[in-house]
Every structure is written in structure tokens, then in C-alpha cells.
Chain A
Amino acid sequence: MSALSQPTTASAEEVARFQAIADAWWDAEGKFKPLHQLNPPRLEFLRDIAAAHFGRDIAAPAPFAGLSLLDVGCGGGLLCEPLARLGFAVTGIDAGEKNVAVARLHAEQSGLAIDYRNATPEQLEGQFDVVMSMEVVEHVPDVDVFLAAAAARLKPGGLFFGATLNRTAKSYALAIIGAEYVLRWLPRGTHDWKKFLKPSEFAAALRRAGVTVAGFEGIRFDLVHDCWRRTDSLDVNYLLHGRKD
């Protein structure tokens, strides 16, 4: 992959911020522990919706074999690796060069063939059965430009997954004050609350990009059991899925 100067849909500042913490990405007991803990409910959501959409049996080995998936903003590959194990032919792209390097290194260690590229969606060609972008829209400078580029990589009838943080008083308290200041899960300044998207705003932006949202689901942190759980409440972290027309 050729070196890219300034990716258009990610601001340089944002990229640098995540690069600073990329090394610790794969340490399940380290800084990124909350993200590792967040993985099971997110994967369960993706798997269950995709199984229903494509008519696959989740108990079968590699249930999604034969389907292609693009992860936009793949980070260190925390979602790409499990999805590759589930049978998807995975392409992971990220605007952070170091993220991609970390992801590549780890996939090799895991013995997984994943196509990682230091790119933004508009730099790609071809179309995928599934396109997902988790916890990325709240970091991009222009949501419409970003989602149009991501949706362009989706096959007609294909499945789109998104995740972000809702813009509510509760999310301000939990994601900014709680996660960045109190628990120190994330470096201060990781998130800008004003850039969080309400579910209706996310759905409207996707609609403009040709994707019809079919459902939402929330994820909440269970302090008692120290894990994340799926919930109907979309107040803080939420996921959505939609279909390209």
C-alpha cells in the first residue's frame, strides 16, 4: 500500500490521538480492557443480525464463509480477527498507519489472513457483502461525506453496521466524565461530546447515503458483573444495522 499523505475523511489530530494508544490495543488486561470487554456483545449483535440476513447457522463452523466484509476504521483489528474466524473474508482499513501495522502484525501471529490497508473508504474499489464502521462517525470531520464513501463500498442488498455514542446528558456523564476523567479508560480528549450522533441523526445520514436502517440496540456497562450487556436503551453506546437499497 502506498503511503497516503492526508486522508480526506479523518482529521490528522484524531488519527494521532489513537495512534498514541495503538500499541496497547491487543493487551486484554491493559488500557484497552474496556474495548476487549465491549467485544462480545458487539460481535453477538453483528453475528445474530448477519446470520438472520444471510440465512446462516451460528453453530456451524465458519458460518459466514463465502461472504466479504469491510471494517472501516478497523483500529488494531479487534473486530476483524473474530469476524475472520467466523468465516468472513475480511478487509480492514484505517487512516492510522500505526493501527494498520499493529493489526497486520497481530493477524499474522493469530494465523489469520486479513487484508489490512492504510486507507479511507473512498480510496477503495469493489463492493462488499457487509460494511461496518464501529465507533468511527463521532471522530470524522464530515459525517455525510464519510458515510457516503462507506456506503459506496456496500453491495446492493448488503448489510451495514454502525456504532457510536448518543448525544445525551447521560452519555456526557458516562463517556466523557466517567470514561475519560474518572475511570481513565481513555485518554482525556478522546471524544468530543458535540460530535456524538443521536440515533435519528445517524439514521438520516445513512438514508442520504442509500442505506435504510432496520434496527437499533444499546450496550450498557454492568458495573456489578464488570461486563457490557446488550440493552434496549440507546442512551449512551448504541449499534445499528441497515440494508443498502
Chain B
Amino acid sequence: MAMMDTDLQCDVLIVGGGLVGGPLACALAAHGVSVAVVDREAPETALAPAFDGRASAVALGPQRVLAGCGLWPAIAPLAAPIREIRVSDGASPLFLHYDHRVLGSDPFGWIVENRAIRQALSRRLPALPLARVLAPASIQALRREAGGVVATLNDGRSIGAALVVAADGRGSPVRAGAGIGLTKWEYGQTAIVCTVAHEKPHGDVAQEHFLPSGPFAILPLPGNRSSVVWTEKSALVPGIMAQDDAAFLAEMHERFGDFLGGLTLEGPRFAYPLSLQFAKAYTAPRLALVGDAAHGMHPVAGQGMNMGLRDVAALAEVLVQAKRLGLDLGNAAVLERYARWRRFDNLLMLGLTDAMVRLFSNDIAPVRLARDLGLAAVNRMPGLKKTFMRHAMGLVGELPRLMRGEAL
């Protein structure tokens, strides 16, 4: 960076301080890599209950990443462990049952309200001397040159860095600005997300019902509460969302079932259209994509957050190692290592979740019989089931150190 005249000089500029950009900033700043995080939202806005009503499944491996970033202590009291997973197909009596005790004493993972992660970030980032948060602010111009990256913010300030990381979500303006194409298809499904309180305890069980219109998931939250992800054909969603609370609740209750007793709605409902997308490249000169900017998937397997945190762990490891070797962090060889590490893994997961959506979101009798037999068969094959479980827990593949619970 030819001693560029910038207001702020750092190693890595992260655009987007959300659920992926935020943990990345923490991981880097805690290990000697200076970061600047630019986010469009003021921190207060991002913490408001109406901003993000979703909860994320955090598997064991990614939980270790959050721990390695110093975020887990603040999240843990607000995270509900998943000790059992029940998967069922419509009204079919055959179902798949995963019990965490098959693999040891650790839970499969946790359900965490996104707001809890945002809250933890808002406390952790200001405590890190190597992290600077600039929010609300947006990038007006971004130049990626041979010597470094220079960003100009809407308020006129400039930031110089060796590398820019796009953590700015599915619509990633940074990705678009770099001319990186996107492969995308819509599912014609929309996820309706809300939080419910119920009479009986959920017993740390996560439920996933495969209904013809899409999966319906009941995810345990602390106390007698659950997060509901109700996938519905998009055309029907405006009608459902327009209903008053009582009518909405009645319709949801039909799908939910009676096993947790009476239900009451907590907080607002949200609707998120579902699609699958992946960036045609994960890196460009002095640029790396992470999380939703690189890949967006159907929530059927609860892997969106997990894949994002795997990106974080891999990129943090590559960059911290490069920093400790004195390498230029925007160097093509450094970025190539990250792209290689993540691309295949992400495509595999995208393919798996896409296949699941297609297999389960229909009611054609033979397909239905086949998948019921398939679920029952998997249930009877301990070896295969263990492999699936370890996959869902994020413990398969060449794991970054943070995911193995090791220090960088």
C-alpha cells in the first residue's frame, strides 16, 4: 500500500458485520490481524427484535469457531442444545431418529437466535484493539489495485487494506462490483419464521416434518419456546402472512401438532423467500467472499450458518498463518488456498440440501414411498447414520483448526 493517504489503514477490510463478517473480524483481530468492519446498519438497528427474527442452527464444529472467536460465553446462556433430532415424512409412521448419545456426550448443536449472536458481537468487537467498526456506513467506491485496496465511504473517509472480504450477504454489492457471476435458482418456496411459546417442555428435541409444501421445523429455544421455520409455497405466503395472529396460529398449529400443548405467538413473524445460489468464484484479486455472499442455501438441513462459520474458520486460519509469515494478505497464492479449501465442501453441501428439498417437497406416491423406506433404512444402518450425523455436526472433511477447537 504505497503509503496511501487513507484515514484508516488495516490488514483486512470486511464489508458486512453480520453473522459471518462479525465472527471473522473477531477471529482475525484476536490473532494479530487488524480489521475494519463496515456495516450499513447502525448497531442499535441490528439488535432490534424486528430486524432479524431468525434462529440459526449452530453445529458442534461451528460452535467451536464461535468459542475461538471469544463469542460463545455471551451466546451460551441464550443457546438451546439439541440432544435429539426427529425427522418425519408427512403422516407416515416411518421416521428417522437421531440421538446424540450415539456419538458421545456432546449435543448435536444449538439453536441460537440470530439476535443473540449480534448482541455478542456488539460487545466483543469494541473490546478488540485490532478491530474498528464503522457503522452505519456504506462503501461508495472500492478500488482493488496491485498494491492494495482503497475504499471510500459515504461520509468521505477512506480505508486502505491488503484485502477486502465480502460478507455483505446474498445480494453482495461487493461481489457484483467485482463482476463475479452467480448461479441461482428459486425454489418457489418461502420460509415463514416465528417464535412460539408452548405449554410443555420440548425436551431439547428438534423436529423436522417433511410436508408436501416444504419442510416444517420446530427448533428448541431456551425455556418452553421454539423457533418455527414453516416452508410454504410462495404463492400462498402473502395470504398466510396477512391473517391476524389467531388465524395464523390456528393454521400453524395444524402442522405443528399437539405434542407440546397449547401455543402462543411471541414477537413478529417474518417471511424469507428461498433460493439456492453460489458464486462462480470465491476470490478475485485482493477479494474473498464468505458466507451468503459466496453461497446461499435452503434452510432444510440447517446448514447456512454452519457453512458460513466454516468459511470463517478456513479464511481466518489462512490469513493468520500468512500474517505470521509476513506475506501480503491479498496475495493470490494466499487467496487460492482459501478458495480451494472451501469451494468443494460448499458445493457438496449445496448439492445435498438441494437434493433433500427436491426429494421431500412433493407428494408423488412412489417418491414418497421410496424416501420413507430410505429414511427407515438409514435409521437401521448405524454406520451410515453416524456419518450423516457427523456431517450435520460439521465434523467431516479437512477441518480448520478453529473447528477442531484448537487455537490459531
Chain A residues proximal to chain B, CB less than 8 Å: 28-29, 33, 36-37, 39-40, 43-44, 47, 58-61, 81-86, 108-111, 227
A81 touches B333 (CB 8 A): no
- Beyond A81-B328, A83-B326, 12 extra complex contacts between A and B, CB < 8 Å: A36-B331, A36-B333, A39-B333, A40-B333, A43-B327, A85-B327, A108-B2, A110-B2, A110-B328, A111-B3, A111-B147, A227-B337
A111 touching B2, Cβ below 8 Å: yes
B282-325 vs A, Cβ < 8 Å mask (1 yes, 0 no): 00000000000000000000000000000000000000011011
From B130, which residue of chain A is reached at the shortest CB distance? A61
> When chains A and B are docked, how far (Å) is the Cα of A47 from the Cα of B147?
24
User: Which residues of B lie under 8 Å from residue A109 when comparing CB positions?
Assistant: 1-2, 146-147
CB distance from B143 to the nearest CB of A (A): 14
Contact present for A28 and B331 (CB under 8 Å): yes
Q: Known contacts being A29-B332, A37-B333, A110-B147, is A86 close to B326, with CB within 8 Å?
A: yes
Decide if A28 touches B3 in the complex (CB within 8 Å).
Answer: no
Instruction: Provide the bound-state CA to CA distance between A9 and B328, in Å.
Output: 32
User: Judging by beta carbons under 8 Å apart, are A47 and B324 in contact?
Assistant: yes
Residues of B within 8 A of A85 (CB): 326-327
- Seen from chain B, the residues whose Cβ lies within 8 Å of a Cβ on chain A are 1-4, 31-32, 146-147, 321-322, 324-328, 331-333, 337
Chain A residues with CB below 8 A from B327, complex form: 39-40, 43, 82, 85
CA distance A83 to B328 in the complex (A): 11
In the complex, what residues of A have CB within 8 A of residue B326's CB? 43, 47, 81-86
Q: How far is A39 from B328 in the complex, measured between Cα atoms in Å? A: 11
Where chain B touches its partner, the secondary structure class is: loop
B1–A111 touching, CB < 8 Å: yes
Classify the secondary structure of A's interface with B: helix
Q: What's the Cα separation between A47 and B322 when bound, in Å? A: 12
What's the nearest-Cβ distance from chain A to residue B319, in Å?
A: 13
Do B324 and A59 touch across chains, with their CB atoms under 8 A apart?
yes
Q: What are some 19 contacts across the A-B interface (CB < 8 A)?
A: A28-B331, A28-B333, A39-B325, A39-B333, A40-B321, A40-B322, A40-B327, A43-B327, A81-B326, A81-B328, A82-B326, A82-B327, A86-B325, A109-B1, A109-B146, A110-B1, A110-B328, A111-B4, A227-B337
Which of B3, B326, B331 is most buried by chain A, counting CB atoms within 10 A of its CB? B326
Q: How far is the CB of B8 from chain A (nearest CB, A)?
A: 14
B112 to chain A, nearest CB (A): 30
**CA A85 to CA B327, docked complex, whole Å:** 8
Report the minimum CB–CB distance from A224 to chain B (whole Å): 11
Contact B32 A61 (CB under 8 A): yes
**Smallest distance from the beta carbon of B72 to chain A beta carbons, Å?**
21
CA gap between A84 and B332 in the complex, in Å = 20
